Amino acid sequence: MPAATLLVTPPRPATARRRSRAPTSPPLTLQETFSALIDKSQTLSDLLQVHAAVLRRGLRDDRILNFKLQRAYSSLGCLDNSVSIFKSTLEPNVFNWTAIIYSHAQLGLHDRAMAYFIDMLCSGVGPNAFTFSAVLKSSPIRPGKSLHCLAFKLGFGSDMYVETGLVEVYARGGDVPSARRLFDEMPQRSLVSLTSMITCYAKHGEMGKARWLFDEMPERDVVCWNVMIDGYAQNGFPNEALVMFRSMMSDAKLRPNEVTVLAVLSACGQMGALEMGRWLHSFIENSKIRDNLHLETALIDMYSKCGSLEDARLVFEWMNKKDVVAWNSMISGYAMHGFSRDALATFDEMRRLGINPNDVTFIGVLNACGHTGMVREGRMLFNMMKDKYGIEPKVEHYGCLVNLLGRAGHLEEAYDLVKGMRPEPDIVIWSSLLGACRLHDDLALGEEIAELLLEQNPASSGTYALLSNIYANSGNWIEVARIRGMMKSKGVVKEKGCSSIEVDNTVHEFLARDTKHPRCQEIYLMLEEMNGWLKAEGYRAETDKVLHDLGDAEKGRSLEVHSERLAIAFGLISSQPGTTIRIVKNLRVCSDCHAVSKVLSRVTGRKIIMRDRNRFHHFVDGSCSCGDFW
């Protein structure tokens, strides 16, 4: 047999082995490496290290890296570094110009953004759609119209981003018809453009149109929800703002942010919705929303307006840093509750810590003096504002002092102050003085002021009502009828009194003689029981304060169904014994309901906190915190 043959497979050439491996990516260039490092830089320290390495490698004039560094510094808030790189760039292109314009617009430096845009045009670089979108964020309406023409001329007039920016320009300038016309002509509407138009309507109080657009949106993000909630809150519809917020919270995909919470806190303060406000406070603490100075100050304001000064003070005390706005909120909180000494003590503490007061601070302390008749202190603070801090008094400061002097009975001094004012007195100041005339039964001066207002035609429904009340107090029903006839002929409608109370996170509103509430029968049964308590305590209705030509019995019955009494009755049947009843009224509480609330606080053992148009009243064991001076 032939010998066995050993077959040996020869090795493959080295080149063949290399070809069988998976292909590898080519190594990154130095530019690509630094570009990636810039994109990954999360802090200023990281970015500075990358920038230093770029300079060491001799890439100072690399256009792509400079552009990325310019944008990265802007995104980290280091605008000076961004501008420095931009100025060192040789012949910046449209992307460099757009980035520097955008960075200034984002930080609210609108004049500089516009100046860079003009410099860009002068340098011969033509803008693109993104440039227009950036500069329109900074444009007032007059140059905005010129930008509109230029965008149209250069062929960007139909770009969705440019059109959205133009809608915002017209909205900011108050030209709602132009904003709507431009919006209607848009072939495509993005979420941003729809939100811009809703913002335009909300800003100008057209909440019905804003709501219609909102309801028609195919998708909604947290921004458009915030616009609606804040729009309702800022335009005097706090209940609708709270309803909208609850609808937003029912969507599991949406998460409220700081803007949402600030808007809802404002609505809670307006409505006196303390339970909802406390829930929001807890939500802030348990969520990822950063508890910052703005939120803390908003919480102080909300708690103060909802009648819980104790909670407001706790938030204030826990603040790590307090600016003048936070101090002002605490001072104003004490003032509206009638705790004038606490307001002035807080004012003194603020100054002792080296924080200078501003014009808002003095409105707070002057209001505090006005609520307790501290005339000497009020005069001193008014002079201090001018002489020590160089703050020129505004109409609001004069209004506080006029109110203080008038309510304290210094009517002639108050009248002389109004006549000698440097800024023209407004309707609020004249009405304040007219109210003081009514309080002190000065018919002659009241008539003089009222007739002046009626002749100049700035009179509001309150002016007519005050003059009518002055005549009614003196029993002059002929003049009362004349004033009411004037109101009817001029279409002036008197504002209706409304009282609200929050129970189980729901705000219930009542008008006088209201019969619409689901528990109406129980409420009126409680009213009857309340009347029995009042009679047993020897209370007699202040029928002389009823400003209608009626008999005493009819006057007494009309007092029994005031909105405050209905709200108190509902509070008594809807809450546990011993709990505080909190009422919010849109007008000044009448003297009879004030007297009734004092008696009821003693009989029921309940604390009744009532916020009217002017201030808070804390009724405890038969007395009121205002000391019957309001």
pLDDT higher for 380 or 460?
Answer: 380
In a domain, 244, yes or no: yes
In a domain, 209, yes or no: no
pLDDT of residue 5: 33
Other C-beta atoms lying within 10 Å of the C-beta of residue 78: 16
Do 53 and 166 lie in one domain? The reply is yes
Do 136 and 73 lie in one domain? The reply is yes
In a domain, 351, yes or no: no
pLDDT of residue 554: 53
In a domain, 259, yes or no: yes
d(CA 333, CA 307): 9
Rounded to 5 degrees, what are φ and ψ at 368? -60, -45
User: At residue 298, what is the residue type?
Assistant: A
Do 57 and 178 lie in one domain? The reply is yes
Do 182 and 305 lie in one domain? The reply is no
Tell me the per-residue pLDDT of 307-357, one tens digit each, with 9 for 90 and over: 999 999 999 999 989 999 999 999 999 999 999 999 999 999 999 999 999
Do 246 and 164 lie in one domain? The reply is no
In a domain, 327, yes or no: no
DSSP SS3 for 501: strand
Tell me the per-residue pLDDT of 520-537, one tens digit each, with 9 for 90 and over: 999 999 999 999 999 999
Do 127 and 240 lie in one domain? The reply is no
Question: Taking the model in full, what pTM does it have?
Answer: 0.82
In a domain, 51, yes or no: yes
In a domain, 140, yes or no: yes
Tell me the per-residue pLDDT of 203-216, one tens digit each, with 9 for 90 and over: 999 999 999 999 99
pLDDT at 248 over 50: yes
pLDDT of residue 2: 40
Do 615 and 520 lie in one domain? The reply is yes
With beta carbons less than 8 A apart as the criterion, state whether 575 and 519 touch: no
Do 177 and 288 lie in one domain? The reply is no
Domain stop point among 321, 344, 371: 321
Work out how many domains the chain is built from and give that number.
3
What's the pLDDT band for 483 if we cut at 50, 70, 90? confident
> Checking phi first, is residue 272 left (phi over 0); if not, alpha (psi -120 to 50) or beta?
left
Do 250 and 147 lie in one domain? The reply is no
Domain stop point among 268, 286, 321: 321
Average pLDDT over all residues of the chain? 88
Mean pLDDT computed over 13-34: 60
* CA within 13 Å, CB half, 174: 0
Do 50 and 189 lie in one domain? The reply is yes
pLDDT at 557 over 80: no
Do 55 and 175 lie in one domain? The reply is yes
Strands 581-585 and 608-611: parallel
Tell me the per-residue pLDDT of 398-408, one tens digit each, with 9 for 90 and over: 999 999 999 99
In a domain, 593, yes or no: yes
CATH number at residue 140: 1.25.40
Do 165 and 50 lie in one domain? The reply is yes
Token pair 């420095």: residue? 84
Mean pLDDT computed over 27-43: 87
Range of 289's domain? 236-321
Domain stop point among 262, 289, 321: 321
